[in-house]
Structure 1
């Protein structure tokens, strides 16, 4: 495992501080729906600038913060049901950090535009996070959907459980995907060269 430079450790600390702040400033589109965060953007930026190892660490921190917030200060009933489950809280976030860093590292030689590549891998990371949350939520609640439906604010639903989860989380995904594609390249493109020069 490679070592991080002092500059990279400082950058990592800054990104972790931003993750802590965004965890406690939630945005919700629909009542009862999971909150929209910029955590995926922070993790994607870190993964691009610090590599898959740094991305994995940031994803783990993001998952831990989601887990702690759901236990202590949940923004919605649905957040309690989903993110007090360690698998739902940690695995998607960790996957985002590692996969975004890995993809950027291995595709950089083929895709010359840093901005296009950064936006593309950030989009993939957002899709991966939402997709895994949807998948794990379905797997954990498919046998007993009553609690999940109640958290959605529906005593019953004629819509299949999987599609209901996908629709509710999909509204968040659209906003998160757009912000990730726009913001991630704006920050990483001018910063990446400086990070690489200062890495020893």
Structure 2
């Protein structure tokens, strides 16, 4: 019995387009707004759109591209991340894992989140929720990997400064995470709805009748 899922040319085109947008945003000022050691990243939006159109598979591909471009910034490719450069200096392998895995996992998870929410809500709400979780999970996974992989280093201990780890994470991401979540929620909701009306979202992704 065949279990492989086939995607249409149009849907794969959307994935290719989102991958191109990710690369454009990664290598120009469009993708990041640097504030201190962190940056407000808008690259979570193409990941969310890819997950809406192609499910976990699309989210994984876009998330992987996001992760690779994020790691590239540790070594000055497509801009420079102040924190990434320091982490790379401590351990290139751990820096790669900390930058890559959170984005890959985010893409996979939001693909399933869209499918679950779509069973209960209309297309706009489903896409907006997916956009929110794209930014939210990216932040949660990123900070978890940061503390888990580098929490014992002098660099991170100095940043924490004796604070509770959870309070440190909340304070550290602060307005960055809020801006990412707001932007991703609104834009993914609008773009996903437009793609649905253009019939670019597979039937298997659309579990209930659209109500908008």
TM-score (norm 2): 0.80
Give yes or no for the alignment of 1:181 onto 2:185: yes
Give yes or no for the alignment of 1:22 onto 2:25: yes
Q: Contact 2:55/2:111 (CA < 8 Å) preserved in 1?
A: yes
Q: Which residue of structure 2 lines up, in the alignment, with residue 80 of structure 1?
A: 85
Q: Which residue of structure 2 lines up, in the alignment, with residue 62 of structure 1?
A: 66
Q: Which runs of 5+ in 2 are unaligned?
A: 205-212
Q: Which residue of structure 1 lines up, in the alignment, with residue 130 of structure 2?
A: 121
Q: Contact 2:59/2:111 (CA < 8 Å) preserved in 1?
A: yes
Q: Contact 2:53/2:200 (CA < 8 Å) preserved in 1?
A: yes
Q: CA deviation at 1:51?
A: 1.4
Give yes or no for the alignment of 1:108 onto 2:115: no
> Comparing 182-191 with 86-95, which one deviates more in the overlay?
86-95
In 2 relative to 1, CA 161–82 (structure 1 residues): closer, same or farther, beyond 3 Å? farther
Give yes or no for the alignment of 1:171 onto 2:156: no
Q: How does 1:125-140 map to 2 (within 5 A)?
A: 125-140=134-149
- CA–CA distance in 2 between the matches of 1:8 and 1:183? 19
CA deviations over 1:54-85 (Å, ceiling 9, x no partner) = 11111111111111222234533212245751
Q: CA deviation at 1:159?
A: 3.1
In 2 relative to 1, CA 5–22 (structure 1 residues): closer, same or farther, beyond 3 Å? same
Structure 1's consecutive aligned runs of 4 or more residues displaced over 6 angstroms after TM superposition are: none
Corresponding residue SS for 1:51: helix
Corresponding residue SS for 2:38: coil
How many residues align? The count is: 191
Q: Which runs of 5+ in 1 are unaligned?
A: none
TM-score (norm 1): 0.84
